[in-house]
Amino acid sequence: MPTENTDMEKVVVRVLAAGCSDRWIDDDAYATKSEVLTMKYVKRKLPNFPIPEILGYDVGHENKIEHPFIIMTVLEGERMFEAWQGLPEEVEDQRQNILRSLAKHMLDLQQLSFDVAGLLLFRTELDDGPAVGPAFRASEGYDKEGGLIHHTWFEGQCTDTQTHFLEQVEKMPGRATEDEHNPTTYVHSGMTIMTDIIIKALPPSLQSVNDPKETFVLAPPDFDWQNILVDSMSNVTSIID
């Protein structure tokens, strides 16, 4: 929600959808604070990385709007999916420029690597050596009466990319058993088997071939083209959400 203060400076006030007091729990506050401090950490380490600057936040309800919020600077630009539209022969150069700009910024994140993957844990607001805790997960849906269902949980740290992906596949529905003869189930089972094969063929996430184990870098949580802004020269100006 963009807004302006009395000096006509634009800011974004992000009011969290799941922040109503009847469903906001300690896990939500914990994960949101980690997200804010992670953004601050990235800005300290990589000042030119295109994410908004955090101006203020509150993960509780003891504030003037009685709701968790994050206040950020505004970074201007057109959404990537809008800039991407057009006939290939007309916009191909523009698309290539966007991808090169985005790849450059993603490469910058390699400067911040960790031995495991999970939620960053900060001891202080300015902690430049965060630890890594379990991964935070959240899902939302609606019950039969149309009420919002908000569910959160933590998963163990990821220490190995292949094992992590295979564990996620194991949680997918649709694996056929000897007693099941539903064609739809067999289709899902075939897709799962193919996914297993692809995952096992993935190279490990090593910074060099001589590294003894994988390392992990930060990644935007919702890395999709509606959350990437670009300027008129097809340079990425902001990664949001």
Helix/strand/coil for 72: strand
Max Cα–Cα distance, the chain, nearest Å? 69
Collapsed DSSP state (helix, strand, coil) of residue 149: strand
165-215 pLDDT, tens digit each: 888 887 766 555 555 556 666 777 788 888 889 999 988 877 777 888 889
Q: What is the mean pLDDT of residues 126-142?
A: 88
Cα angle 45-49-52, degrees, rounded to a multiple of 5 = 100
In a domain, 38, yes or no: yes
The domain of 183 spans 160-213
Report residue 220's pLDDT band, with 50, 70 and 90 as the boundaries.
Answer: confident
In a domain, 195, yes or no: yes
Look up the pTM and report it: 0.83
Verify that 167 and 148 share a domain, yes or no: no
Q: What is the mean pLDDT of residues 43-52?
A: 95
125 and 193: one domain? Answer: no
Domain annotation covers residue 218: no
What pLDDT does residue 20 have? Answer: 85
The tally of domains found in the chain comes to 2
Between these two residues, 181 and 31, which has the higher pLDDT value? Answer: 31
